[in-house]
């Protein structure tokens, strides 16, 4: 983590209050990207929770395989998102450092420009990974609706909303960093990619909300 963090700790090592304090400080990182990743981690944990609350209950026995998968992937994604929170902070810190490089001579200007392009690519790549992971997060939430403990169905809605919010935030960080990369072809492909992923997340999150509101019981997933 960048030097602004408490005693060099990774975000997972901070208390919740500690993370909030660092986020609310005048330091540039963590920022919106890390906040989005942490929100997604909470959503993934909710998915794991609902799956865990559904395991071993005869009423939901037909969905046991789904519960096992959702609990495993939920925990995995929660860890992944926390890692991405650190990676996002590191990537932006590298870009911020590049902005401070000297540019008095032509050589310094060239070196600075090259470093800015490289670090901007990293600052766009990390949030892209977040959006990709959010696709799986909201898909897991949607799959569990009507196939898990009905008393926790609203938690799946919250998980999907957190995943959607995180994806939107991460997508913004992808888009904002693309111009600094200086590669129009790459920027165009990345823009299409992130918008396609975001559409997927939003559609699935909406389907999750509708399924929770319907309160219906669903058949086991095929396969």
Q: What is the DSSP letter of 182?
A: -
Residue 13 CB coordination number (10 Å): 15
What is the pTM for the complete model shown?
0.93
Angstrom distance (rounded) from CA 208 to CA 119: 36
**pLDDT tens-digit readout, 135-165:** 999 999 999 999 999 999 999 999 999 999 9
**CATH 1.20.120.680 correct for 6-214:** yes
pLDDT for res 3 = 40
CB 125 within 8 Å of CB 64:
no
pLDDT for res 6 = 40
Q: Is the pLDDT of residue 221 over 70?
A: yes
CB 132 within 8 Å of CB 174:
no
Cis peptide before 30 (omega within 30 of 0): yes
Question: In the chain, what are the domain boundaries?
Answer: 6-214
Confidence category of residue 8, pLDDT binned at 50, 70, 90: low
Report residue 67 as tokens: 């519960």
**pLDDT tens-digit readout, 164-200:** 999 999 999 999 999 999 999 999 999 999 999 999 9
């Amino acid at each position: 983590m960048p030097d602004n963090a408490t005693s060099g700790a990774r975000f997972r090592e901070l208390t919740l209050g500690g993370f909030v304090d660092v986020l609310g400080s005048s330091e540039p990182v963590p920022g919106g990207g890390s906040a989005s990743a942490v929100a997604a981690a909470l959503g993934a944990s909710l998915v794991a929770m609902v799956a865990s609350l559904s395991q071993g209950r005869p009423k939901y026995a037909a969905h046991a395989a789904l519960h096992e998968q959702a609990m495993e992937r939920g925990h995995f994604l929660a860890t992944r998102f926390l890692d991405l929170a650190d990676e996002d902070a590191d990537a932006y810190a590298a870009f911020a450092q590049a902005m401070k490089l000297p540019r008095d001579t032509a050589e310094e200007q060239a070196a600075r420009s090259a470093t800015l392009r490289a670090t901007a690519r990293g600052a766009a790549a990390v949030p892209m990974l977040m959006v990709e992971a959010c696709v799986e997060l909201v898909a897991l939430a949607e799959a569990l609706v009507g196939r898990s403990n009905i008393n926790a169905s609203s938690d799946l809605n919250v998980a999907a909303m957190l995943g959607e919010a995180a994806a939107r935030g991460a997508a913004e960080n992808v888009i904002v960093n693309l111009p600094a990369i200086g590669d129009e072809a790459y920027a165009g492909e990345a823009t299409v990619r992130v918008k396609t992923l975001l559409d997927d997340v939003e559609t699935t999150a909406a389907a999750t909300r509708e399924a929770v509101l319907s309160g219906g019981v669903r058949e086991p997933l095929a396969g």
